[in-house]
Structure 1
Amino acid sequence: MNRTRREMVFLGLTAALLPTAVLADRERDSDRARHAVERGEALALADILTRVRSDLGGEIVGVEFERKRERWVYEFKVIDPGGRLWEVYVDAATADIVRREGH
């Protein structure tokens, strides 16, 4: 197999597996969140949304759950009314908004 054909096969396999990798990462986020909630280290997403939805500043288009600076945070991707994308970080234990980053 020549180099170009190998590259095409590699790119095809990568494209085919990418959705699986994204799904696996989302599953890990939900597993991490569930375990953190069970241990009392975080509030459930539904509770967080009840507390902060009106303060997020727009429509939620994505959510991640991750460890940042020794605490669990929900990272919300939000589109504001002007169409700008924001990442809003919310402390998972307290529901406090800890940071906003515009893109």
Structure 2
Amino acid sequence: MPAACRHALLGFALALTLIAPAIGDGRQDHEVARRALAAGEILPLGVVLERVGREHGGEVLEVELEHDDNRWIYEVKMLRRDGGVNKLIVDARDGRLLEVKGRHGRRGGRH
């Protein structure tokens, strides 16, 4: 299985289990994520990770799906090729990149 597919599957599993605890209505986190996907409120994580991978490269370390300010957000932590870590904030409805937060890598660049 290609690395991109493995990352997509891993990320999808993470997204189904790592929804922000602010959704405290008694439903399981993965059920909330599945309902949001079925309702068309969010893109499948595989689609988002494919876009992010093409544009930013690196390796996906962690994915969270959060519902914040009436908007679904994917937070994707990626290990850059220089050893630094980027946190990408992506609108889960349309896949639009909202923000990139970076940490210095071995070469000291901030991205």
TM-score tier (shorter): 0.5 to 0.7
TM-score normalized with structure 1 length = 0.66
Decide which structure has greater helix share.
1
Q: Which residue of 2 aligns with 1:48?
A: 48
Residue 95 of structure 1 aligns to which amino acid in structure 2?
Answer: G
| Matched positions, count | 79
Distance 1:33 1:85, change over 3 A: same
Q: Which residue of 2 aligns with 1:8?
A: none
Q: Which residue of 1 aligns with 2:10?
A: none
Cα shift at 1:28:
5.1
Q: Which residue of 2 aligns with 1:23?
A: none
Q: Is the 2:67–2:73 Cα contact (8 Å) retained in structure 1?
A: yes
Q: Which residue of 1 aligns with 2:59?
A: 59
Cα shift at 1:51:
2.7
Segments of 4+ in structure 1 off by > 4 A? none
Distance 1:55 1:69, change over 3 A: farther
Q: Is the 1:88–1:101 Cα contact (8 Å) retained in structure 2?
A: yes
Tell me the SS of whatever aligns to 1:55.
Answer: helix
Q: Following superposition of structure 1 onto structure 2, how do residues 1-103 of structure 1 map, counting pairs within 5 Å?
A: 27=17, 29=19, 31=30, 32-103=32-103
Cα shift at 1:42:
0.5
Gaps of 5+ in 2: 1-15, 20-28, 104-111
